[in-house]
Amino acid sequence: MANIGKDVDTLNTFLRGEISAVETYRQALGHVSDDRLRGALEDCQHDHEHRVEELKDRIRKMGGEPSEGSGVWGGFAKLVQGGADLLGEKAAIQALEEGEDHGLNDYQGGLDQVHGEARRFVRMELLPAQKRTHERLSRLKRTLH
pLDDT digits (tens, 9 = 90+) for 106-142: 999 999 999 999 999 999 999 999 999 999 999 988 8
pTM for the predicted model, two decimal places:
0.88
User: Distance of CA 94 to CAs 10, 32, 44, Å?
Assistant: 27, 13, 14
pLDDT digits (tens, 9 = 90+) for 16-25: 999 999 988 8
Size (the chain), residues: 145
